[in-house]
Structure 1
Amino acid sequence: MKDVDYIIVGCGLASISFCEELRANNKTFIVFDDDSQQSSIVAAGLYNPVILKRFSEVWMAKEQLALALPLYAKIENELNIKVDYKLRILRRFTSIEEQNKWFTASDKPSLEPYLSLQLIKNNNSEIDAPYGFGEVLHAGRLDTEMLITSYKNLLREANCLEEQSFIYDNIQFNNESIVYENVKAKQIVFAEGFGIKQNPYFSTIPLTGSKGEILVIKAPDLKIDYAIKSSVFIIPLGNDLYNVGSTYNNLDKTNRPTALAKEELTSKLKTFIKCDFKVVNHIAGVRPTVKDRRPLVGRHPKHNNIYVLNGLGTRGVMIAPYVAGKLFRFIEKGEKLDDAINIKRFE
């Protein structure tokens, strides 16, 4: 029997962030993961403090970035990997009116640190942008696939990873502890992403799920080292490769790429990219989205040592370290969970 402080189910951005809280506080744990959830792996990985459709601030952006960037730097240093790439994000303007809205938004105290006041003219003949761009500051891209793959290697080396499906019916409650197969734990945290819809302990939480699809294209003539947000994002990966995304589908809950999404993304891309490109990969995953666009964090209403860490939606790179810290302090120190993230808001 292995005796640990925590069992964690899932190994995406939320789980990794919570593992880092446990490691920093000398807590023992074991992670169960079966690779069934793909949203963190297939994510474009952008972290961006501005909602570029409406020129408004992302919820708790300053606080989230202050925690996320040092955490990823720490992991990079420990694992000797590169996952955090500082990246200019340029918002393509489609009219003079959009330019004016950008500069009006930049006067707001909450947005002033993130929106450049300089209008950037387009000088790339392969891009159609007659009204130029606005630049988002303090943004970047996290290589989520590299992060998760490398972190799993760390867990394997520490004998902290069980690569198997978690069987909910095998949980046994024993006084103040939980026994699962050959593991005895004080607490269990479910960080399964959309997979939590199959979890009988949290199947009723209002996780809607939104399927997203991304293309990887090769465009040798494009030659940009910055991301562009227009009707779709295009994000440089190096070697003339770019991510193009993403779609939003609230009905399809599978991880299978679709021809319809591929057509949507390529059609939108062609509205502002003039050069030829070739699609070299097409990936899909279901994001754990919530109707009020806030995370789902908290304790099971009947079982005091079962918790959920979920609902990170489309901004998991920024949100994960923030909510992981909130949950850890709630469990270990009795700190009150913010009403905005507490699952009790839906009771």
Structure 2
Amino acid sequence: MVDYMVVGLGLAGTAFCENLRKNNKTFVVFNDQSQTSSRVAGGLYNPIILKRFTLSWRADEQLPIATEFYTQLEQFLNVRFDEKLNVLRKFASIEEQNLWFEAADKEKLKPYLDTKLVSNENTSLKAPHQFGKVLETGKLDTKLLFKSYMKWLEKENKLYTATFDYSQLIIEEGFVNYQNIKAKHIVFTEGFGMMQNPYFNHLPMQGSKGEYIVIKAKELKETRIIKSSIFLIPLGDDLYKVGATYNRGQKNNTTTEKAKNELIDKLGSLLDCPFEIVDHEAGMRPTVKDRRPLVGKHPKYANLCVLNGFGSHGITIAPWAAKSLYEHIEHQIPLLEEMSIGRFTTN
């Protein structure tokens, strides 16, 4: 008998497992890597919605917890995957500059918006109206994070790479049984894969497909993250990740020419140098209709839990939401109503 079974190992699963490890709980993880959202994402953490210059949902609560979480995880794994990088928001007009200053004057936004504008000194970028600098931002190498964490799980004999078969889950009084592994609780952190889960697929996940391209641009020589209509994220060695698209209609991880051409067109208004495409990736974001997470216990089976629905803000939301779910299970601390699945299952 272990304390927990965790199904899925993206940002949500990793964050929840770390709560278990730090609290000396026994656990096993099932992960077949079928959900690619966390692995193909840009890896950015940024507290500001840069289209409207507003604070992301509860970002001021989430960011300190996320910062501490990733620092401790780097130390535990002895791997560096968190890079502090500035995000520069390209202004399309003087009017946008004025909106930036108005936003920077608001109490909750002051810590994150620099009031000193940044002039464009990179001849390979088109930015005649300067940039605004966002503070407390950076980039996670999510592939390295997951690779390192899976390596540790394997070493500890905690990882099963087979696809989870829901039909073999037996729910008993006070525990669950799956292929002769017994656990007091099971937590599903499956991303968009939740739509195949018979216990939680009633929840209103929409899903949003996102596609990125990776370009090589030898003349660009940019070390900061640039945001215009798209993000341009430096990867080193003259490589840059560019994205992302949003498509609610398609529910797969297949790359498309349409999305690639959309990103190329948007790059045309930002770059003034040649580039070549060296990679193209796609993944399904676990988005919810009301843009809030899906966290909580199954309405009928209290030892079945879900941790999901972070959309494109998983890096900052995951450590905070995972901690909330752990405290809810172990100490009966109520979940925030905005993210509790009770907002759907009790109606």
Category of TM-score, reference length = shorter chain? over 0.9
Compute the displacement of 1:213 (Å).
0.4
Aligned equivalents of 1:279, 1:90: Cα separation in 2: 23
For residue 223 of structure 1, give the secondary structure of its aligned residue in structure 2. coil
Matched, 1:99 2:126: no
Give the counterpart letter for 2:164 in structure 1. F
Select 2:132's aligned residue among 109, 131, 134: 134
State the one-letter code of the partner of 1:52.
L
Unaligned runs of 5+ in 2: none
Amino acid in structure 1 at the alignment position of 2:174? E
Structure 1 letter corresponding to 2:326:
F
Which residue pairs with 1:323 in the alignment? 321
- Hey, what does 1:68 align to over in structure 2? 66
SS in 1 for 2:315: helix
Q: Deviations over 1:153-192 (max 9, x none)?
A: 1100000000010010111122211110020000000000
Distance in 1 (CA, whole Å) between partners of 2:192 and 2:247 is: 14
Match of 2:44 in 1: 46
Output the amino acid matched with 1:102. W
- TM-score between the two structures when normalised by the length of structure 1: 0.99
Residue 343 of structure 1 pairs with residue 337 of structure 2: no
**Could you give the per-residue CA deviations for residues 18-54 of structure 1, whole angstroms, max 9, x where no partner exists?**
0000011110000001110000000101000100000
Q: Distance in 1 between matches of 2:61 and 2:80?
A: 23
Which residue matches 1:300? 298
Where does residue 118 of structure 1 map in the other structure? Answer: 116
Q: Find the residue that maps to 1:307 and give its secondary structure.
A: strand
- What SS is found at the alignment partner of 2:89? strand
Runs of 4+ residues over 6 Å off in structure 1? none
Aligned to 1:162: 160
In the aligned structure 2, how far is the partner of 1:265 from the partner of 1:151?
Answer: 32
The one-letter code matched in structure 2 to 1:213 is E
Measured after TM superposition, the shift of residue 65 of structure 1 is 1.1
User: Paired residue for 1:258?
Assistant: 256
Q: CA RMSD in A?
A: 0.7
Report the equivalent of 1:309.
307
Name the % identity.
Answer: 53
Residue 198 of structure 2 is aligned with which of 200, 206, 227?
A: 200
Identify the residue that residue 31 of structure 1 maps to in structure 2: 29
- Which residue type is aligned with residue 129 of structure 1? A
Spell out, residue by residue over 1:234-280, the C-alpha distance to the aligned partner (whole angstroms, 9 max, x if none): 01011101000000000111111111100000110111101000110
| Distance in structure 2 (CA, Å) of the matches to 1:154 and 1:100 | 49
Unaligned 5+ segments in structure 1 are none
Counterpart residue number, 1:278? 276
User: Is the deviation greater in 170-179 or in 12-21?
Assistant: 170-179
2: CA distance, partners of 1:173 / 1:25: 25
Match of 1:235 in 2: 233
Give secondary structure in 2 for the equivalent of 1:65: helix
Aligned equivalent of 2:213: 215
- Report which stretch shifted further, 278-287 or 66-75: 66-75
Which amino acid is the alignment partner of residue 286 of structure 2?
P
Secondary structure of 2:204's aligned partner: coil
2-structure distance, mates of 1:206, 1:173: 24
- Counterpart of 1:95, as a letter, is S
- Matched residue type, 1:184: K
